[in-house]
Chains A and B, each alone.
Chain A
Amino acid sequence: MMTKLLRVRELPILVALLILLLLTGILNPAFRTGDGLTAILIESALIGFLAVGQTNLIIMRHIDLSVSSTAGLVSFLVGSYSMNHGGVTGGVALLIAIGVGATVGIVNGALVAYLGLPSLVVTIATLYIVRGIFNYLAAGITVTADQLPPYFSWIGSGEVLGVPDLFVFAAAAAAIMTLVLRYTRWGRDLYAIGSNPPAARRVGIPVAHREFGAFVLNGSIAGVAGLMLLSRFSFADATAGLGIELYVVAACVIGGVAIAGGVGTPAGALIGAVLLQTIAFALGALGVSQFWQQAVAGALLVAAIAFDRIVAMRSTHRAMRLVEVPV
């Protein structure tokens, strides 16, 4: 049991997170009140939620950078609908979120899965296309808190047992998706595809359908993330969501989702998101400039993939030794 626990990929990152929290608490007494923790969880909820959908794609050796534009566009569309109609019901908000998100996902998925285009290029393109449409629609318009129904800010600032609503939501999504990946054939197919794509085809896994499905799901998740964005800030304009796509990918990688595919869980990616945010807070609490925080986040990213590489080299080396024992 103990050795099994030690093999869990997410363990080192979780340990790193706890150590960091402890150190920050010791060095900065103000951090100990719990408010610091709450702030970290609120900030990491959005990135963590997006990382859940992104994990499915990275497991299959794909990537979706368009999520920031999709989430931003949804937050603005729902906000401006509320502004123009004097409010918006939860149902309509969800309809807009999933409708817009799934549409972007369908475009990405069709181009990647059925036309065989590289996902990196396709989603950079849709990142710009969606952002362009967004800029056109949102030119000079700002949606503010008083134009939104109050439930947005209730959700955005609410707590369950001291844990922010938004984080509870992201954690639930991560938990469900982790279980889906572990206990359904659909989920196992994703790991098989990322581990060895030609072999997956050979055993009859419908690779293109799985890729398409994961892109549509990720688009929908990005749409719903737009609602989280709106709840969090009670504000929307043309800059909403700008630049967060790389944080999402970084959270996945730091959380143990290998960019080479085949391994990792949404739960790990969520922990990765929390760690990224914790570092920003810890450095802030220690009085380090915000510019350095980005540099540290970058260093952490390199450390995460280097760690992975070293572990992989060790196990391959050991395997080679095993083979060399004469039979």
Chain B
Amino acid sequence: MSTHLLVIEGAYKRFGGVQALNGAALTVDRGEIVGLLGENGAGKSTLVKTLAGLHALDEGTVDLDGQPFHQGNPRSARDQGIAIIYQEPSLFPDLTLAENVYVGQQPKSGGRVDWSTMVTRTAELFAGLGIDLDPRRQARGLSIADQQMVEIVKALSVEAKLIIMDEPSAALSAAEVERLLAVARQLRDQGRGVIYISHRLDEVFELCDSVTIMRDGATVASAHVADVDNAQIVRWMVGREITDMFPKVAAEIGEVVLDVKGLSSRGEFHDITFTVRRGEIVALAGLVGSGRSEVVRTIFGIDGFDTGTITLEGRSLARHTPAQAMAAGIALVPEDRRLQGLFMPSSIAHNTAITVLGRLRRGLLLRTSSERKVATDWAGRLQLKYASIDDPVERLSGGNQQKVVLSKWLATDPTLLIVDEPTRGIDVGTKAEVHRLLSEQAARGTAVLMVSSDLPEVLGMADRVLVMREGRLVEEIPRAEATQERVMTAAAGAAA
């Protein structure tokens, strides 16, 4: 028996006018973790969905465990030993964790669903992975990290041979990522195959045994991790050299735009004081849950605060609404573009121009031609890849969607631009472009406040780094002194 667990060869798949897979190949051995890399739209998702049984290839062969893989049926994919952990796990919030693990395959005794066996087995699987959760609790309210653990337990419950993790770390804190990587190694050591998809190359180097790189629907390279370096992988992914990941433009730092003093909100954050100046990029670093997003939400007027002051260009803001914040010159590019940033079924033009509709009005009516013009201008400036400006944004790739969110806020010509995790889940090529845009915006005199969990991004882009921990601002580090170690130590506290 060969050691190959999964062999995909010559895979082709077309959706309408898009050739999603164009000669893709992938091999995974038993007891191996393969990093599957590529920019957004390279075809990774299509390949994963094929293995999930959500669609069948037009052409090509898939062999699993020496047998031809029966395609196009999710249940059959699971029965053949494939399990998938998605970036945003989809549990059933109303059902118990035990039932989430066994949904569709509940153990039975005497013809009826055997609840106690279900709970016992789930508890055993949880214990095996060191997960401290009650199998009888509802899935509602579970953190993303815990939801992923439940999904992994689900994979173990069916004795999956091949486990695919699709960008599982995107929404996790550092400690949660460590736990995830440990579990992935445990799965490998049990002789299972693991496919690990991530945009974070450091994780890939830390975890994977080999990498397969896709571009434009085809596999461009496969190699052992030991034989390649970061730059080589990026070259394969983008097909060109990225000379500067953090194109920082020298900007003249001017007067104070945002002045926050002693800002507190009970249970969220306490005594936050900082300023952001014209032309300056200030990064708000810290662990997930340290209160960073809450602070920027408060500045933008989404949440209220108890004590302290927020002053924008000398004007005090209190009990303000997001509409008033916008009128005052603040723009907030939210963390979750799907839920908070975009109207997915609406057109690119409509999404871009929505923030400036007041300016495009003539009498009571909107002029759709000027809506299109504004959107086309911005699409050009941000090098958006699109077919028609009237296409719904849900058809764009993740990176291009993020550009639409950015352009919609840049269109308001803000004096203070707040971005929350601006490059999460975006490929390296687009990431560099987003960085260029932020930098140019600062050079034009905008004050930029950036919440980010991506340390190289924080260090590469920020003029000053503010570190939050447990709702407090614990350290302020100027650009020249900022290092990964210093930021992490401040973020994690003495315990780390």
Contacts and interface: CB of A to CB of B under 8 A. Distances in A.
Interface string B70-97: 0001111110000000000011111100
B74 A196 contact: no
Interface string A279-320: 000000000000000000000000000000000000110111
A5 interface: no
A263 interface: yes
A320 B289 CA distance: 10
B176 A327 contact: yes
Interface stretch (A25-33, A107-115, A187-195, A238-246): A187-195
Nearest to B144: A323
Contact of B106 (A185, A194, A261, A322): A185
Interface stretch (B13-21, B135-143, B208-216, B270-278): B135-143
B74 A203 contact: yes
A183 B110 CA distance: 11
A326 B145 CA distance: 13
A188 B99 contact: yes
Contact of B90 (A199, A205, A263): A199
B175 interface: yes
Contacts of A321: 267
B58 to A, nearest CB: 22
Contacts of B99: 188, 192
A166 B470 CA distance: 61
B74 A327 contact: no
Interface string B165-202: 00000000101100000000000000000000000000
Interface residues of A, number: 34
A196 B142 contact: no
Contact of B94 (A198, A263, A323): A263
Nearest to A189: B104
A184 interface: yes
Q: Would you call the interface of chain B mostly helix, strand, loop, or mixed?
A: loop
A192 B90 contact: no
A117 B131 CA distance: 42
A201 B74 contact: yes
A6 interface: no
B417 to A, nearest CB: 26
Given A192-B103, A202-B52, A204-B74, A315 B141 contact: yes
Contacts of B77: 204
B329 to A, nearest CB: 30
A209 interface: no
B289 A324 contact: yes
Given A199-B90, A326-B469, A327-B175, A184 B141 contact: no
Interface string A52-89: 00000000000000000000000000000000000000
B94 A195 contact: yes
A152 B294 CA distance: 66
B485 to A, nearest CB: 19
Nearest to B286: A326
Interface string A141-185: 000000000000000000000000000000000000000001111
A196 B104 contact: no
B113 interface: yes
B173 A196 contact: no
A30 to B, nearest CB: 43
A200 B94 CA distance: 13
Given A185-B113, A191-B95, A262-B92, A202 B141 contact: no
B287 interface: yes
Given A189-B104, A191-B94, A195-B92, A326 B287 contact: yes
Interface string B464-490: 000001100000000000000000000
Contact of A203 (B94, B104, B173): B104
B104 A205 contact: yes
Interface in A178-235: 182-185, 188-189, 191-192, 194-196, 198-205
Given A195-B93, A263-B94, A326 B289 contact: yes
B291 to A, nearest CB: 8
Contact of B173 (A183, A184, A327): A327
Contacts of B290: 326
Interface string B41-58: 000000000001110000
Nearest to B94: A262
Nearest to A325: B289
A323 B143 contact: yes
Given A183-B113, A203-B74, A203-B104, A192 B289 contact: no
Given A204-B73, A316-B141, A326-B290, A188 B94 contact: no
Contacts of A199: 90-92
Contacts of B93: 195-196, 262
A150 to B, nearest CB: 40
Contact of B112 (A184, A315, A320, A323): A184
Contact of A319 (B73, B90, B106, B140): B140
A218 B461 CA distance: 61
A277 B90 CA distance: 40
Contacts of B91: 196, 199
Contacts of A316: 140-141
Contacts of A195: 92-95
Interface string B302-330: 00000000000000000000000000000
Nearest to A323: B143
A198 B54 CA distance: 12
B149 to A, nearest CB: 13
Contacts of A326: 287, 289-290, 469-470
Contacts of B287: 326-327
A198 B94 CA distance: 14
Contact of A196 (B54, B92, B176, B470): B92
A194 B94 contact: yes
A327 B176 CA distance: 8
Given A322-B141, A327-B173, A204 B94 contact: no
Contacts of A202: 52, 54, 74, 90
Contacts of A198: 90
Contacts of A189: 104
Nearest to B491: A326
Contacts of A327: 173, 175-176, 287, 289
Nearest to B294: A324
Leading 8 A-B pairs by shortest Cβ distance: A319-B141, A204-B75, A262-B94, A199-B90, A195-B92, A183-B112, A204-B74, A195-B94
Given A185-B108, A195-B92, 10 more contacts: A188-B113, A195-B94, A200-B92, A262-B92, A262-B93, A262-B95, A319-B140, A322-B141, A326-B287, A327-B287
Interface of B: 52-54, 73-78, 90-95, 99, 103-104, 106, 108, 112-113, 140-143, 173, 175-176, 267, 287, 289-290, 469-470
9 contacts: A184-B112, A185-B108, A192-B95, A192-B99, A199-B90, A204-B53, A261-B94, A316-B140, A323-B143
Interface of A: 182-185, 188-189, 191-192, 194-196, 198-205, 261-263, 315-316, 318-327
